[in-house]
Amino acid sequence: MELVQNILKTLYPDTPLEATSAGPSPPAQNDRPFSRREIRIIKHLNKTKAPGFDGLDNIILQQIHQASPELLLLIFNRCLGFGVFPSTFKIGVIVLSYKDGKDQKDPKSYRPISLLPSLCKLLEKLMTQRLTFHMKTTNQQNSNQYGFKEDVSIDHALD
């Protein structure tokens, strides 16, 4: 029990967090609804990723999409239309991952990992896909950017 308390104290200090709650963002006038084509990204989700608190893993999301293709599209288009990222999508389950070869009694031997709901990860992928497309088609990507860019890695900056 002492080890658990020590880990919690080390990983989660007593510093109070300021509550920040931004209201919904007004949707941009040119935000078109997500399309059936965009939602096809669901077929490429990693099936081995751990689910969040809701227990819905990517396999279940793919089965839901296969049974009722419009359902997830409706959910994500409502989020987009109202300019809201649902608060339940932000609930993370923290699991501790032991770092191999480290002292099991040392709190620093554990890495906290936050497991977010798969719906959250899918909505993030849809938004990232759309933002990336916008940046490419409007020629707004800086040629000196190497991170977070398709087919380019930070190693290219070293060449």
pLDDT in tens, 32-49: 999 999 999 999 999 999
Q: What SS3 class is residue 110?
A: strand
Q: Flag whether 144 is in a domain.
A: no
Beta bridge partners of 93: 115
Give me the domain span that covers residue 108. Answer: 1-8+31-133
Q: Which of 126, 128, 87, 94 is nearest to 111 (CA)?
A: 94
Is residue 50's pLDDT more than 70? yes
Domain assignment of residue 57, yes or no: yes
Per-residue pLDDT tens digits for 124-151: 999 999 988 888 888 887 777 777 677 7
Residue 123 placed within a domain = yes
* 150 within domain boundaries: no
Total structural domains within the chain = 1
Residue 41 lies in a domain: yes
Residue 28: band (very low, low, confident or very high) from pLDDT cuts 50, 70, 90: low
